[in-house]
Chain A
Amino acid sequence: MKGKAHSLEGLLTLVQCLTLTCSLVNAEPDTKPAAERKDDNVQLDAAALFKLAGGQDVRLDKLDSKTLFSWDKRDNGDVLFYRAEKQGQSLKIELPVSRDGYYRIRGSHVHGPWKPGRFGLFKLKADGILMPGQQHGWYSTSAPKHWPKAKLHVQQVDWGAVYLRSPTALLAFERIHHTGGMFGITRLELHSVKESELDEEERKRIAPPRVSHKRGDWPILRHNASTSLAGKLPVWRTGIAPKIDGALGDWLRGPDIEINKTTIKTMGFESPAIQGNDDLSLTARMMWDDRFLYFAAAVRDDELAATVRGQKWKGFWEYDGVALLVTVPPWLRGTTRHPQVIEKELHFGLNYYTDSGPRPLPGGGRYVCRRSPTGYTIEAAIPFASLGLDARHGDRLRFFIIAVNRDPAKPEGRHFGQYIWNRTRGEIRLVSAAGAGAEMIPEISHARPGTTIRYVGSADVFDKLTKVSEIQLIDLGTGAIKRRWPQETTLASGKRHQLSGELPLHGLPNGRYSLRAVLSD
C-alpha cells in the first residue's frame, strides 16, 4: 500500500469496523490479466482495474463470504478500494475501447456504511460526460438489522449508456459528497449497445474526441490540420540578386501575383471597379536573399497621372504606383534576429515617376520605374535591415500589396482607386529552393530547467511533397544543435500544415534557444 498516512488510517477504520483481515497487496498482483473481450465488450475484474488505476490511492483486498454478504461468484473475491480524500476527487480508470460506439457501463460495487471514513456517494463521468447512475453507502454506521452483522454487500450498478471513442475511454468515479470517501469495485463492464436500443437521453450522451491538455502528454510533433494556402505567397530564395534597373528579364522564378479586374476582391473605400486590364492590372513577382526582399511588377495603366516635379513627394496614394506594406510578426519580434522590436507596419511607396527620380524609401530601400508600352515596370529591393530583421528561411511576414490608380482625365468617380492584394490574409513566406518553409514558435518565453516546452508552428508546402525529417533545438549562444528529434511526418503539397508538440528540456543548460523544423523531400 503506497497511500498516504491519513488514507491508510481511513482504511484501518474500515478494517476495524468490519473486523477484516486485510493483506497489503503488491503493486503487481499475481493474477492473470483479466480483461476479457467479447466482440467490443470489455470486462475487467478488480485486479485488472488495479493495474489500470496505478498511481492513485487504491488498494486491492481479497474479501470472501465471511465479510461479504453477497457477491457475484464470477468475482474471485478481489475488491479494488479507492479512497477520495475530499469531495471532487475521483478514481480514474482508462478502459480500452475497440471502436467508436455506444456502450452501457455496468459495475459491481461494494455497498457499505456511509459516514466519515466510510463508503461515500460517487458519480461517474465517462470522458467528461456525467452518467445517470450513482453508487453510495447505506445511511447507517452499521448494516441493516436484517443483514448479518457488519457484512458488506456487492451490488450491481448500471451507470448508463454513452457513446465512447476508441482507443480508450476515461472513466472517473468522483466523490460528490463531503461525507464518506470509500469506493469499492469488484468488476467493471462495457457492453456494446445499438443506438436503436437507446432512449433519447442516452443517445445524447456522446463523449467528445479526447484531447489531452496535460503537460508532458503531448507528442514531440503533431500534425494538427492542413489549411488552404490562399493569401500565402512563397518568396523563393535567389542566389543571384536581380539588377534593380526596371528591366525584368532577370526574373525567372516565382509565382505571379495578379491584380486585375478578375482577381481583386478588396478595394479602397469609394474606389470604382477596375474597368479592364488596360485601366489597371499588374503582374508581380518576389524573391529574397540574405539582405533584400526583391519585388518586380509589370503594370498596365492607360492613364499615367502627373508625378512630382521638383516638389516634395506627398503620400503614396497621391500618385500611380504600388505600395508594399510589411510587418514583422510578433513571434519574430525581440529575437536575436530582430533586436530592435520594430512593431509598426512599414510602408514602401513605389510610385511611378518621370524626371523627379524615385520616391525615397525608408531604411535604404530603392526602386526603379520604367515606362513600358502599356504602362510601366517597377523593380525594388527592400533591405531586411529596414525591418530590423536578420531574415532566414522559413520566416513569415505580413504583407500587403496595394495598387494605386490615379486617372484624373477620366470621368468623375473614376479618378482614384486602390486595389488590395489579400487585405485580410496577406502573408509571404521566405522559402528555400525546394519551395517549402516552416517555423516553430515556443509557447512561452522562459522555460524552467528540466521541464518541457510546447510549441506551435506551421509549414507551407508550395511545391512538392515534403516531410518534417527532424526537429532541432539550437543553442543561440553557440549556434550548436543541442538536441535532435528525428521525425517522419509527411506534408502534402499545396497546403499550410499546422503543427504543435512538446519537447523535453531535461539535461539542457540554462541559455537561449530556438527551435527549427528540418524539411526535406
Chain B
Amino acid sequence: MSDLLRKRVVGNSSQEQGRSQLNFWAIKFAADRFSSRAAKSLRCLAIVICLSLLSKISLHSDEFTIGLPADDKKGVRPAMVGPGMDDLHRFHIPAGDKVEIPQRPVNRKVYLETIKHWKMHTAGWRPVYESFCDAGPFGVYAPRHAFVGAVVFKGTGEKRFGEKVKVQIQDFHRALKKQVKDKGMNYWYMHYPVLLELEYRILKEGGILTAEDEVWWRDMILELNRTIHVWGTKPTYWRGSQHRSQGEGVMKRLAAIKYPDAPEAKEWTNYFNTVWQDWWEFRDTSANDTGYFFGMTFPVIIGAHLMGMKEVFTDEGMDPFWERLLHSISSEGAVAPYGAHGGWNSHAASLLWMFELKARYSRDGRYRWAAHRIFNYLLFQSERLQSHHQPMHWSKFGMGLAWLFADDSVKPVAPRKTSTLTWRKETLRVRGKEGAKRYLKNLDPDPERAQICCGLLVTKEVKPHKLVLRSGWNPGDLFMLVDLFPRHDPMNPGGILGLMRHGSAMTMTLTSKAETDWHNMLMVEDLSGIASIRSNENPDTVDSYRMEVTIPTFTDHALATHAVTRTTDFIGFPMMNEREFFFVKNRFVLVRDRAHFEESFLARLGPTWFAENIGPQVGPNWANTFMAEPRTHGIALKNPPWDLLIVHAPKPDRKLIVRQRGISEFKARYTSTENMIRYRWQGVTKPGQVVQFSQVLLPHAPMRKPAELASKIEFIADDHEKTVVRIQAEKDREEWLVLNQTGGLIEFGKLKTDAKQVYVDVRDGRVNRWLIKHGQQLYYNGGAVIPYSKTPINAAEKTADSEGKD
C-alpha cells in the first residue's frame, strides 16, 4: 500500500528527502574481486569516511545561524578515497578498447546450434540437446520450457524431441486442471496461449499429434480460455493497450479461430475485435519501459504472426513503433533498460525475435542486422547468463523464437549510423474504467468487466520518445540514450538512460514502476513546499503532473550531434528546463541544463549521475565513475573496464554531493547504480531567473588517479550566453567545445569564433577536425580555419582523413 502513497507529494522532494539528509558518501566496489584483506580495508575506510562526514550533517530548517560554521572555510569536499586500486580486478584484465565483442555471422543454423548447446536448468543444467528428452515434468511451466524442445524437433527432425514436447504439454494440461480445481481460474494469458499455438503447429506439422491428442488439446485450450482471470482477479475481458488486455484478447481470438464451433467463439471474437483496437487504432502501446512493454508485445506480435495480420509488420503507421526499437540498441547490441525492467539487457532476447519477425514480413534487412548484434552481445554474456535460470531461460527462449521466425533470405543491412530522434504516442494513466470512458469505445458496462489494464491507454497525440546519440555502429562506439517522453513513469525527460563506450555500460536506471524523475537529469526539490505544483488537471487521469517536451534543435553531423530539449512545467514545477547535448562522436558529451524559474521558492537542484562505483578519486566539481558488473536478475554481467569522468563547470555556489541512495534488496538484483553524484545549487528562486549547469562526460581508460585528467577539462567560460570548454585529454591534443547561443564574437586564448556551436580538434598544433554551426568565422591561433564570411554558414565540418574510426 505504501507504494500507492509514495507518489509525488507537493513539496515533498521525496526523491532525496527522507533518505538523503546525510551528506555522506560511500564507494562500493565489487568486493568479490578483491583480496579479502583489501576489501576489508576499503570497507573500514568507507565507514571512517561516513562517520567523519556525519558530523557535518547539514539540514535545512526554518532557523539559521549567524557565524561561520566550522567546516565552511574549506567546504565539505570529498577527497581521495581508497588506499589505491591495485587489487581491483579491473586493472588486471584488458580494458574496454582491447576487448572484442565477436561479431560472428548469424543465420538460423547458428541460432539452432546455440540453443542446442545452451544449458537447461529444468534438466540438470545440461545442454538442451543432451538433456531435454530426459527432463522431468515441467508442470505449469511447460509451454515455455518445452518450447526449445519444439524448436530442436523442428530444426533437427528428431521425433524424440517432439514426443517429449507433447508429454510436457500434457503435463501442463494436468497442471491447468489442478489450478482450476484449486483456484477456480488461471492467469496464463501472456506467454502460454501463443506459445501453445506455435507448439501445436510444430507438433502437428511433425506428425506428433494424433486424433486423440487433438481432443485433449482442444479441451486444454478451451479450458484455458474459459477460466482465464488475468492477474488472478475476477474482472475479466480487460481493456486497454497493455499486456493483460491484449494477452486476453489474442488468446481468445486464437481459440475462436481454432475452434469456431466453441459456444463462446463469437463472444471471444467480438471481444478481440474491440480490445485489439485499443492499441491498433493508435499503432502503439502504453508502457515507456523495457519490461512491461515486452509483456504486451509477446502475445500481440506473435499473435499477429499466427493470425496472419501482416499489417502489424508492414503498415506505415507502425514505422515509429518499429523504428524506435531499432534505434534504441547500442552498437554492440545491448539494450539499456529503463522504467520497470529486469536489469541490464534484461529483455534483449525479446527484441531479438521481434526483429527477426519484423524482417521476415517487411523484408527490411536492418532489423536482421540489429537482431544479430543483439544475439552476439547475448553470446558475449553467455557464460554469465547461463549462471542463473532466469536470464538463461529467457535468452534461450528468445533465440528459439528468433530461429523460428528468421528468414535467411533477408540480407542484413546496417542501419544508418546517425543520431536519431524517436517518437511515440501519448500515454495516459486513467482513473480506472470511469476515467477511460472518454478515450475507449464500447466499454462493457458490466462492473466486473472491462477494467483497464495498468490504468494505461494511448492517445493519437505524438510525443518525443528518445534521443539516440550514436557515433556509429562499430562495436565500442560511444552511444547515449536519453529519455524524452513526458508521460507515464519514469517521467524523466532529459534523463540519460544509457551510456556505452567500448562495450562498457556506464550507467543504468533503477528499475521502477514509479516516477524516477531525478535519474541522470536535473533533479529539482522544493525545500519550502510553496511552489505551485503544475499538477495534472485532467480529472480522468491520475498522473500527478503533466509536462511537455519539445526539441527546438536537433542536428546530426559526422563529428557531432547537437540537440536541445525543452521541458515546460518541468516535473511539475513552475519552471522550464532546457537540456542541451553536444555529443562529440566517440569522444565526449557536453550536457548543459538551463533551469528557467517562474516562481519564488527555496529550490535545491542540480544534475545527477547514478553510478555503480564512484572513485577512485573525486574533486570539488568532478568525479570518476565506473560500472564493474551491471546486474540482471541478481547476476552480474561482464562489462569491459572503461571509466566515465564527469566534470562540472565549477561555480562557487555549487557543491558536489556524492551519496549512497540505498536501494531495496529486490531492486539491487536488477540495478547496479545505487550511488549518486549531484552538483547542487540551493537558493531562493525568482521569476525570470536562470540557473545553469554545464558538465562534460568523458569516457576514458581506467586509471587510478583521474585527477590529472580532470584538470585537463577546463571550462574557459560558462555563463548564460556561452559555454567554452577546452579539453586536453591526450598529449599534444587540444579539443574545444563552444556553445554560444547569441552568436556574439568570442575570443578565448587561441580560439576566436562567432559560431553558435563549435567543435575543434587540434593535434600537434594543427586543426585536424572541426565543426561549426551558425557562424561566420573560426580562427585558431591566428590562422583562419573558416575565414570571415559575410554570409553566415549554417553548418560546416571537416573530418580527419587519417582518423580512422575515432
| Interfacial residues, chain A to chain B (CB-CB below 8 A) | 87-88, 121, 123, 128, 130, 176-178, 208-213, 222, 224-225, 227-228, 231, 265-270, 272-273, 315, 317, 325, 327, 329-336, 338, 341, 343-345, 396, 398, 400, 402, 411-413, 418, 420, 423-427, 439-449, 453-458, 476, 496, 498, 500, 505, 508-515
Contact = CB atoms under 8 A, between A and B. Distances in A.
A283 B12 CA distance: 26
B688 A413 contact: no
B532 A227 contact: yes
Interface in B594-629: 599-602
B794 interface: no
B10 A231 contact: yes
B61 A325 contact: no
Contact of B62 (A177, A317, A332): A332
A331 B60 contact: yes
Given A211-B688, A456-B684, A508 B602 contact: no
Contacts of B744: 123, 130, 176
Nearest to B231: A270
Contacts of B10: 231, 398, 424-427
B602 A441 contact: yes
A456 B62 contact: no
Contacts of A345: 5
B105 interface: no
A150 to B, nearest CB: 28
Contact of A514 (B8, B11, B62, B687): B62
A446 B72 contact: yes
Given A400-B5, A498-B599, A272 B689 contact: no
Contacts of B58: 445
Interface in B19-47: 21
B431 interface: yes
A514 B64 CA distance: 6
A445 B9 contact: no
A510 B67 contact: yes
B63 A476 contact: yes
A271 to B, nearest CB: 8
15 contacts: A87-B747, A176-B745, A209-B687, A211-B688, A267-B431, A267-B432, A334-B59, A398-B9, A441-B527, A445-B63, A445-B64, A446-B72, A456-B600, A457-B528, A498-B599
A121 B10 CA distance: 50
Nearest to B688: A211
Given A333-B59, A456-B528, A444 B12 contact: no
B535 A208 contact: no
A443 B684 contact: yes
A177 B747 contact: yes
Contacts of B448: 411-413
Contacts of B532: 225, 227-228, 498
A441 B531 CA distance: 13
Interface in B387-438: 431-432, 434
A426 B12 CA distance: 11
Contacts of A333: 21, 59-61
A456 B682 contact: no
Contact of A454 (B5, B67, B684): B684
Given A412-B448, A446-B72, A455-B684, A330 B13 contact: yes
A411 B316 CA distance: 46
Which 10 A-B pairs have CB atoms at the shortest separation, nearest pair first? A334-B59, A510-B67, A211-B688, A442-B64, A458-B530, A500-B600, A335-B61, A227-B532, A514-B63, A224-B600
A447 B599 contact: no
A269 B456 CA distance: 13
A150 B4 CA distance: 80
Contact of A210 (B11, B65, B68, B688): B688
B683 interface: yes
Interface string B521-537: 00000011110110100
A444 B21 contact: no
A86 B683 CA distance: 30
Contacts of A222: 600
B686 interface: yes
Contacts of B234: 412-413
Contacts of A442: 62-64
B552 interface: no
B263 interface: no
Given A267-B432, A315-B1, A412-B234, A341 B21 contact: yes
A391 B566 CA distance: 42
B64 A449 contact: no
Contacts of A88: 717
Nearest to B233: A270
A449 B65 CA distance: 9
Nearest to B683: A443
Nearest to B234: A412
B66 interface: yes
B527 to A, nearest CB: 5
A330 B746 CA distance: 44
A338 B62 CA distance: 10
Interface string B651-693: 0000000000000000000000000000000111011110000
